């Protein structure tokens, strides 16, 4: 049995303690400085207030000031912080890492560093102390996995990925259970790009519900706006394919669990969808944010951190200028407080399709 330390007691990091505990591992759940209330509840009542569930048997909760102790002897450090917490996490785990440990990323996102779109495992690498950064292993999780459902031990199918294939069977054996199905892949870039982009595109698909509400909801025929959402879903996946391909990832990653599957599950609810709905109703982003106080909307953070890197790719000619109109539109809405103004006809221009004629509106 192994010692596995989860850093970040949000829903996803905490949910991973369930299969680990079921497999009999010694699990340590460490809150960040923002998780004190959660850790307090886990210590007092063994109840996770955000998962709304008792924590599993073999799990020991730790406050952040006990991080060093919690990391001692761990084979795997799971990073379960949100995308804003990655630098904090790298800074705090850095001093306590020992050679051979695996850093397993739950956190989704990408950052633009010196004009280069950078996946989060590489961001963590670059932010660790020099002596240790090349002596630990990096891996990440992609695929459709709503945390509460994993904690409820409902069937969930995901992909664990690393550039180092040697560590993957070990990770799979630690985490895999009869309800948590783990495929492994060395397409780290493909998986990480897919899972980072799912949040902005799921947010975009969420616009449809708001647009319908703004029009007064369904008419007497009951017509919804699923076609609108589906066009965005398809364009989001097609833009994902363009960026994945340009960065060297595989198309199979796009049209399976990490791409299509994860985008699908992310459109089925959650904070991105709620933000999308508010924007679709016509709220400016600055007003929509006030309706969701104290909530991190990963889709918003992702657009802001990814768009500069995508623009740089366009400037370097790595992808065509007009190949990501949906991401560009989301960036405009979210950073300039402007109302949504899609040109559906701008979609799919890089596929072997002939586009619609200019809109006759």
63-102: contacts with a second copy (CB under 8 A)? none
Site for a second copy in 123-152 (CB under 8 A): 143-146, 148-152
Site for a second copy in 163-202 (CB under 8 A): 168-169, 172-173, 176-178, 181-185, 187
Q: Rounded to whole angstroms, how far apart are CA atoms 206 and 261?
A: 16
Establish if 162 lies at the interface with a second copy (CB under 8 A).
Answer: no
For the bound state, the minimum distance from the C-beta of residue 41 to a second copy, rounded and expressed in Å, comes to 14
- Going by the DSSP 8-state scheme, the letter that residue 222 receives in this structure is -
Q: Which of 116, 126, 128, 132 is nearest to 193 (CA)?
A: 116
Which segment (57-65, 246-254, 296-304, 330-338) binds a second copy by CB under 8 A? 246-254
What x/- string results for residues 298 through 337 when contact with a second copy is judged by CB under 8 A? ----------------------------------------
For the bound state, the minimum distance from the C-beta of residue 138 to a second copy, rounded and expressed in Å, comes to 18
Biggest CA–CA distance in the chain, Å, is 67
Q: Rounded to whole angstroms, how far apart are CA atoms 339 and 280?
A: 8
* CB proximity list for 142: less than 8 A, separation 6 or greater: 158, 159, 161, 191, 192, 194, 195, 253, 257, 258, 262
- By CB under 8 A, how many residues form the interface with a second copy? 81
Establish if 251 lies at the interface with a second copy (CB under 8 A).
Answer: yes
Q: Rounded to whole angstroms, how far apart are CA atoms 32 and 30?
A: 7
Q: Which of 244, 256, 251 is nearest to 313 (CA)?
A: 244
Q: Rounded to whole angstroms, how far apart are CA atoms 301 and 66?
A: 29
For the bound state, the minimum distance from the C-beta of residue 239 to a second copy, rounded and expressed in Å, comes to 10
Site for a second copy in 215-234 (CB under 8 A): 219-231, 233-234
Which segment (26-34, 50-58, 110-118, 313-321) binds a second copy by CB under 8 A? 50-58
Task: Give yes or no for a contact between 206 and 267, defined as CB atoms under 8 angstroms apart.
Answer: yes
Residue 45 or 72: the one with the smaller Cβ distance to a second copy is 45
| N-terminal to C-terminal alpha carbon distance within the chain | 65
Establish if 47 lies at the interface with a second copy (CB under 8 A).
Answer: no
């Amino acid at each position: 049995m192994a010692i596995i330390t989860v850093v970040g007691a949000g829903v996803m990091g905490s949910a991973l303690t369930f299969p680990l505990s079921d497999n009999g591992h010694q699990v340590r759940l460490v809150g960040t400085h923002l998780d004190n209330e959660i850790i307090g509840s886990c210590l007092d009542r063994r109840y996770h207030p955000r998962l709304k569930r008792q924590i599993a048997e073999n799990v020991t909760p730790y406050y952040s000031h006990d991080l060093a102790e919690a990391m001692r002897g761990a084979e795997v450090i799971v990073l379960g912080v949100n995308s804003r917490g990655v630098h904090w996490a790298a800074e705090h785990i850095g001093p306590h890492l020992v050679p051979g440990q695996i850093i397993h990323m739950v956190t989704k996102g990408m950052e633009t560093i010196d004009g280069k779109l950078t996946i989060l495992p590489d961001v963590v690498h670059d932010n660790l102390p020099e002596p240790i950064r090349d002596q630990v292993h990096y891996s990440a999780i992609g695929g459709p996995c709503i945390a509460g459902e994993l904690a409820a031990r409902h069937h969930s199918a995901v992909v664990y990925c690393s550039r180092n294939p040697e560590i993957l069977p070990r990770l799979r054996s630690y985490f895999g259970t009869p309800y948590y199905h783990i495929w492994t892949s060395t397409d780290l870039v493909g998986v990480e790009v897919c899972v980072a982009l799912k949040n902005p595109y799921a947010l975009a698909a969420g616009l449809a519900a708001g647009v319908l509400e703004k029009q007064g909801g369904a008419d007497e025929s009951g017509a919804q706006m699923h076609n609108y959402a589906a066009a965005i879903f398809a364009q989001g996946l097609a833009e994902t394919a363009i960026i994945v391909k340009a960065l060297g990832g595989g198309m199979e990653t796009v049209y399976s669990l990490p791409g299509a599957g994860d985008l699908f599950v992310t459109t089925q609810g959650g904070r991105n969808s709620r933000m999308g709905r508010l924007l679709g109703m016509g709220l400016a982003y600055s007003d929509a944010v006030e309706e969701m106080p104290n909530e991190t909307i990963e889709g918003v953070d992702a657009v802001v951190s990814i768009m500069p890197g995508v623009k740089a790719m366009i400037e370097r000619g790595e992808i065509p200028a007009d190949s990501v109109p949906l991401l560009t539109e989301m960036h405009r809405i979210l950073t300039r407080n402007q109302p949504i103004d899609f040109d559906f006809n701008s979609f799919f221009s890089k596929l072997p399709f002939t586009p619609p004629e200019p809109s006759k509106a």
